[in-house]
Structure 1
Amino acid sequence: MNIAYWTIAGLLAIFYVYAGTLKAIRSRDQLRPMMAWVDHMPLPALRALGAVEILGAAGLILPPLTGIAPSLAPAAAIGFVLLQAGAITVHLMGGDRRITLNAGLTATAAVTTWLATRL
């Protein structure tokens, strides 16, 4: 179970550090080709979303790694499930039906939640 957790949580953390960093530092014009929904969100909210994704990724890795507050790992994974549920809602409300990545991330975060409770 440990190997499964570290593999899945590590990949999820890499994805969210990358996506969060893009949202935190890039302009709307740079993000628009990848994320059509950025025009529907205020820039400070977009930056905050990027920070939340980076902090969530740290929450998946650091608590189990250090042994300090290991219950934060499942909380971070649950946070990503909720984040992706919101992302799917935003996509569908904007008329964007491309939610395959979001559905995959939701499932991956749900599996990570289950594995984190088994550490």
Structure 2
Amino acid sequence: MDVFAWICAVALAATFLVVGVMKLVVPREKLISMRSFGWAADWSSRDIRGIGLAETLGAIGVIVPWATGIAPVLTPIAAVGLTLIQVGAFRTHWQRGEKREAWGNVSLLSLAVVVAVIRFIQL
């Protein structure tokens, strides 16, 4: 079970680290022009950076506390946070009629739930 949890956590962290950092460093106008980031037109630069920061911290949180043994309870909490971000992302994409992107959020949401549940059980 632990190997499966690590595989899920690493996949989750890698994905959120990439998209989170992208939201932190890529200008809003450039994000809007990218196919999967049309939603950025509805959000301010500050909001987008806030989401990016939350995603980046969540990516770190699903790996570092568990790996170091320092406050490991933060790992499932970070996974719950990433789950909530994906609920919001799904809702945004669904309301904008972006069904394909919305279902991509369901996969990440599912992965985050798996990590949260396994790590809470392992505490």
In the other structure, the counterpart of 2:29 is: 29
| CA distance in structure 2 between the partners assigned to 1:28 and 1:59 by the alignment | 26
**Is 1:109 matched with 2:112?**
yes
Where in structure 1 do 4 or more consecutive aligned residues deviate above 4 Å?
Answer: none
Once the two structures are superposed, the pairs formed by residues 37-52 of structure 1 within 5 Å of their partners are 37-52=39-54
The alpha carbon displacement at 1:95 in A equals: 2.6
Could you tell me which runs of 5 or more consecutive residues in structure 1 were left unpaired when the two chains were aligned. Answer: none
After TM superposition, the score normalised by the length of structure 1 is: 0.94
State the shift of 1:10 in Å.
0.5
Query: Which residue of structure 2 aligns with residue 54 of structure 1?
Result: 56
- TM-superposed deviation, 1:96: 2.1
Corresponding pairs, count: 119
For structure 2, the residue ranges without an aligned partner over 5 or more in a row are none
- Matched residue of 1:88: which SS? helix
Q: Distance in 2 between matches of 1:5 and 1:118?
A: 11
8 Å contact kept, 1:24–1:47: yes
Identity of aligned residues (%): 34
| Post-superposition offset of 1:114 | 1.2
1:44-93: CA deviation from partner (whole Å, max 9, x where unpaired): 01001101101001110111111111111111111111111111111122
Q: 1:5 Cα deviation (Å)?
A: 1.1
The answer on whether the counterparts of 1:4 and 1:115 sit within 8 Å (CA) in structure 2 is no
Query: Under a length normalisation based on structure 2, what TM-score does the superposition of the two structures give?
Result: 0.91
Structure 1 residue identity aligned to 2:92? V
